[in-house]
Amino acid sequence: MSGDRLFDLVERIGALLRSELRRLGAPHGLEPVHLQALAYLARANRYSDTPIAVAEFLGLTKGNVSQRLIALEKAGLLRRRPDRDDARVVHLVPTAKAQTLLEALSPPPAWRTATAAVAGDQEGVETALATLLSALQGANGRRTFGQCRSCRFLQRKDGAFTCGLTHDPLEPDHTLRLCREHEPAA
Ligand code: SF4
């Protein structure tokens, strides 16, 4: 497949998904970016659930994201939790109401139906798209926001995980979350 054809397909899929998120979010007073921020925070680890990380993940300015986060708090979808060790750091936590909304809308039901069409080759599609995403992030100098299992800082010893960057022990479920500090293993 040519690069141009691939670009057309990915761009069209992105536009359709944004349109679907807009349609689904409207009855709740939410724009696609609100749902994308909540979906990110529901998967982010404790180093990555901050306003600056949301801005970086979505490719938006801090000011823009700040307004979106305030709206989510007012809607009862997000709460702020102070960091235990650093008073300057605030963690953003989706509420139970937000989790229920995400289960229904993100990914959109139409996406779940559509991906069933490639169920037999889903692994191949995922690998190709992940490679494409990684190449784009590298070309643009963007953070990769990956999981520990593909990070060069992950250390394993006697079945336990440690982050080699922060030197914190990592619970197994923490290693499956998205991390702002992730750097791909060689
Ligand atoms: S090992 Fe990598 S991905 Fe995992 S917490 Fe540490 S920096 Fe983040």
For residue 140, the model assigns a pLDDT of 82
For residue 181, the model assigns a pLDDT of 96
| Predicted confidence (pLDDT) per residue in 110-152, tens digit | 998 888 887 778 888 888 898 899 888 888 888 999 999 999 9
Q: How many Å apart are CA 185 and CA 91, to the nearest integer?
A: 27
Is residue 182 lining ligand 1, measured as CB closer than 6 Å? yes
- Residue 45 Cα: closest atom of ligand 1: 5
From the list 185, 92, 93, 173, the residue with the least C-alpha distance to 144 is: 185
Q: Is the pLDDT of residue 3 over 80?
A: no
Tell me what percent of the residues of the chain surpass a pLDDT of 90: 76
Ligand 1 centroid distance, CA of 151 (Å)? 6
Across the strands, what pairs with 2?
Answer: none
Mean pLDDT for the chain? 93
| Predicted confidence (pLDDT) per residue in 73-113, tens digit | 999 999 999 999 999 999 999 999 999 999 999 999 999 88
Q: Is the pLDDT of residue 2 over 80?
A: no
- Residue 150 Cα: closest atom of ligand 1: 3
Ligand 1 centroid distance, CA of 169 (Å)? 10
Q: How many Å apart are CA 21 and CA 148, to the nearest integer?
A: 29
Sorted by sequence, the CB contacts under 8 Å of residue 86 that are 6+ apart come out as none
Ligand 1 centroid distance, CA of 39 (Å)? 19
For residue 89, the model assigns a pLDDT of 94
Is residue 180 lining ligand 1, measured as CB closer than 6 Å? no
List the residue whose alpha carbon is closest to atom 6 of ligand 1.
163
Cβ atoms of residues 9 and 60 within 8 Å: no
Is residue 163 lining ligand 1, measured as CB closer than 6 Å? yes
From the list 40, 83, 86, the residue with the least C-alpha distance to 179 is: 40
Ligand 1 centroid distance, CA of 25 (Å)? 32
Is residue 181 lining ligand 1, measured as CB closer than 6 Å? yes
